Structure 1
Amino acid sequence: MTSKPYLTGHYTPAVDEITATGLAVEGALPPELTGRLIRNSHNPKPGVTPTHWFKGSGMVHGIRLRDGRAEWYRNRWVHTPALDGAPYLTDHGPDLTASTAGTHVVEHAGRLLALCEANLPFELTPELDTVGAFDFDGKLRSAMTAHPKTDPVTGELHFFGSSPFPPHLLYYVADAEGRITHGAEVSGATASLKHDFAITRHHVVFIEGSVTFDPDEHSGIPYSWNDAQPARIGVMPRGPRGTDEIRWFPIAPGNMLHAANAYEDDRGRIVLEGPTVDREGFQLSWNWWVGAPDRGTEPNTRSHTRRWVIDLTAGSVDERIIDDLAVEFPTLNEDFLGAEHRYQYAVSFPDQQGFGGYGVVKYDRATGARRIHQTGDARLPSEAVFVPAAGATREDDGYLLTVISDLKQDASQLLVLDASGLDRIATVHLPRRVTGGIHGSWIPDTDSTRE
């Protein structure tokens, strides 16, 4: 019996790969939901106990919907060298193909990519089989963030590669056809952990928090909280020359893993939001991730949504916590990525005292209202992926897709919620309980992806 919390409960790994067809549906699936929901997770092979949750090999789970039916579920390990034990560090330096590939999965230019921020992306087939490492035809020679951003206006993919060693931060742009058109080092970056970032219509926004490279951290993820590490937000203009014009703004100590969104307001200020943790919150999560004896509760118990307003003219930052609910995995209607949005969504977690429970949260940023769809005791939802409705006329006209890990029933379901009121529309019963995971994407059918 393992003592590692990230191999128990909701996070107990699947032990095999299966395919199931003709899934049972309660309610009525909207026929316009024709495509695939694909979600990634850390899922080490049987007999493997990683030293950190993030070190577990990636497994993707896919659910195929078409014309009101749930056609299949399948799960597959991402077959990278690391799955078979290949080390990341070699005598010749880091092996960028020795990836867990367990953080996120996205589609760009017809390619399905499983991502882990320390490595190259791995391409998958529509059926989730592994094609291999993808380096953008040799133009990507660094790691790639697990949180690239697709500009909804241009179709460009913006992403970065970060490293604890110089160059600490490289910024890339790939066009809508998947060709890297720009890559450059960002001036002034440090070894601070950079997991996510944001784009606006005119700027790129990087976040350096209080977690930074620590060679004495032996969990396999060499980062820890450091009070001496300045927390900062870096803002640079989009475009080939922006990397030399970045400006860094000091902020309060903290750590943000995931940005909800950023945009320029009507005064030209940049507004950035996302859940953050303080020193205690980070340590509680870290203790769980590494299985420390004093691990306490699961992660995210002190993760609260924060807003920064950066005035480029005055050179100032206003920041405040705007909600005291413990949340993570912020999402939105990505048609509004980089622009001012009214609604955003998140997953709620119990707080340090166990209050609050699991749920899917909707924020109305115009009124300040917060609505929660409680998923129930021992029912952990995955990141809620927004899918616009056909012919949508409102920002929240669409659906939220979330996969539930139900410990009491030892089962999982795909919940389809109305993104407007958070009412349940349909439930798809899956053939196994799906391991609690991290990020995923809805990939609608197109001429290039339709089977």
Structure 2
Amino acid sequence: MTVHELPEYLRGDLAPVPDELEAFDLPVEGALPPELTGRYVRNGPNPRTGADPGHWFLGDGMLHGVRLRGGRAEWYRNRWVRTSRFTSGAPFLRPDLTVDRAANAANTNVIRHAGRLYALVENGLPYEVDAELGTVGACDFGGRLTTAMTAHPKADPVTGELHFFGYGFAEPYLTYHRLSAAGELVHSRVVEVPGPTMMHDFAITENYVVWLDLPVVFDPVRAARGGMPYGWDDGYGARLGVMPKAGGAVTWYEVDPCYVFHVGNAHERPGGVVVVDAVRYSRESFERFWSGAENSAAPGPYDAPANAENGPVLHRWTIGGIGTDDTRVAEEKLDELSVEFPTINDLRTGLPGRYIYAVADTEIVKYDLARGAVARYSAGGRAGEAVFVPAAEPGAAEDDGWLLSLVSGSDGAELRVLDATGLAEVASVRLPCRVPAGFHGHWLPDLP
């Protein structure tokens, strides 16, 4: 098979790298802020040489890490997450048709909670990894976690708790979980949905959990032929659900059919109002992305122009009258720009916030929701998710800090550091190898 015959997700900016390596004293252009003392780690699919996973989302997870300290970039290293699927080829679906949730790719996100670092993928258990990116092993929180774990848990900045969920192709289709600030799984409950929805993300506010029950669902025909077993289903419907954190029933609200991979944030307003900001896909834009992520006959998942008509755009749902008989949902497109990977200052998770950052092909975008303004930074290469690192000063403004983005190109990769206030580049760390375009990263400041 020639390079041009390979599926889109195995060539170009998405092509996997063949080796694990490390390098020290990386070259830096500009000046790294001395306040950045810690590790930047990013996850993404990187199938081994010769392996075709059948879909971009299914490649083996590889972590890419950069250690910053004292204005220096001390090291870079990349490591596969050594799941049981990676090390022994363990099947996700066993011969007796039971599921092995440890046999997953662990390829989507990486988070730290209660001092432990986890590589995440939404169809299985989290994998604990150490500070040097070595794999510790699958984690089920002392046997209490009996479902998969989303790759997009939400840390409550007020309580320190971690809210998350698991979905599956068999009942229970959706289960809500909560970890204490100390890392103990303290609560689980089934959330009733009508079928096996593919729920990639969700939201929290100060008092609520917000569900996105949308029309991409498990498809046994797709499952039988391999690859990703989910597809768009017009008959499923689309709705948002609001569930009190303190306990109680979910109230569901119908919305126009769409799909959401990533939420920016959600918050409450006085008078029983919940606002959700997310990147919304129409059916057309979802199916264009989905086909590009699983075959070579269509544009790849990163190839839509930044201003593509009917592309994924930042969108707002305003749910009014919660707790009354006069409930209603207003929908609003916040911008025309085709974007993905929305991020925020995580200290504002579930709370009113002014800024959302996103990626538009080769640009990093900053939305000022209060002014309706948009600022853009041209990366000159494929811009990765912009991870916000807050300034440490007490009383710092919401956008006082830095953005870290792994910028990929055909000839190499750089970790860019931007001043988040004005999107000015302050430093760039040259990495020793090409890094495939991937998914989500995290800044891990050194622990006391």
Asked if TM exceeds 0.5, the reply is yes
User: Structure 1: which amino acid aligns with 2:20?
Assistant: E
What's the CA shift for 1:295? 4.1
Trace 1:304-343 onto structure 2 (pairs within 5 A): 304-311=313-320, 312=322, 313=324, 314-343=326-355
TM superposition shift of 1:433: 1.3
Provide TM-score, normalisation by structure 1: 0.94
User: Following TM superposition, by how much is the alpha carbon of 1:292 offset from its aligned partner in structure 2, in angstroms?
Assistant: 4.6
The equivalent residue for 1:177 is 182
2:84 maps to amino acid? P
Q: Structure 1 pair 299/306, CA: closer, same or farther in 2 (3 Å)?
A: farther
Deviation of residue 412 (structure 1)? 0.8
CA contact (8 A) 1:388 1:398 kept: yes
1:165-212 deviation line (CA, Å, top 9, x unaligned): 110111011011100110111134532210000000000001011211
Alignment of 1:370-389 (within 5 A): 370-376=374-380, 379-389=381-391
Matches within 5 A, 1:57-68: 57-68=60-71
How far 1:296 moved relative to its partner?
A: 6.6
Single out whichever of 325-334 and 186-195 deviates more from structure 2: 186-195
Identity over aligned pairs, percent? 47
Q: Does 1:271 align with 2:278?
A: no
Gapped regions of structure 1 (runs ≥ 5): 350-357
SS of the equivalent of 1:363 reads strand
Q: Which amino acid aligns with 2:385?
A: E
Residue of structure 2 in register with 1:255 after alignment: 259
Counterpart-to-counterpart distance in 2, 1:192 and 1:97 = 21
1:233 to 230, 240, 247: 240
- Matches of residues 54-203 of structure 1 in structure 2 within 5 Å? 54-84=57-87, 85-92=89-96, 93-188=98-193, 190-203=195-208
Residues 342-361 of structure 1 mapped to structure 2, 5 A cutoff: 342-349=354-361, 358-361=362-365
Aligned partners of 2:293 and 2:301 also within 8 Å: no
Structure 1 residue 213 and structure 2 residue 218: aligned? yes
* In the alignment, structure 1 residue 10 sits paired with structure 2 residue 13: yes
CA apart distance, 1:442 = 0.3
Are the counterparts in 2 of residues 52 and 219 from structure 1 also a CA contact under 8 Å? no
CA contact (8 A) 1:274 1:305 kept: yes
| Amino acid paired to 1:367 | R
Give a deviation string over 1:305-334, Cα, whole Å, max 9, x none: 110001123221001211110100000001
1:204 paired to 2:205: no
Q: Distance in 2 between matches of 1:426 and 1:332?
A: 21
Aligned to 1:354: none
Segments ≥4 residues shifted beyond 4 Å: none
Counterpart-to-counterpart distance in 1, 2:192 and 2:280: 25
Aligned to 2:442: 441
Matched positions, count: 432
CA contact (8 A) 1:169 1:189 kept: no
Report matched runs for 1:401-420 at 5 Å.
Answer: 401-407=404-410, 410-420=411-421
Please report how far the alpha carbon of residue 364 of structure 1 lies from its aligned counterpart in structure 2 after TM superposition. Answer: 0.4
1:95 aligned partner, one-letter code? D
Cα distance in 1 for partners of 2:139, 2:197 equals 26
> Which of 231, 235, 245 is the matching residue for 1:224?
231
TM-score (normalised: structure 2): 0.94
In 2, Cα distance between the equivalents of 1:225 and 1:294? 17
Letter in 2 for 1:440: G
In the aligned structure 2, how far is the partner of 1:193 from the partner of 1:231? Answer: 12
Amino acid at match of 2:389: V
Judge conservation of contact 2:41–2:442 (CA < 8 Å) in 1: yes
Q: Where do 5+ consecutive residues of structure 2 fail to align?
A: none
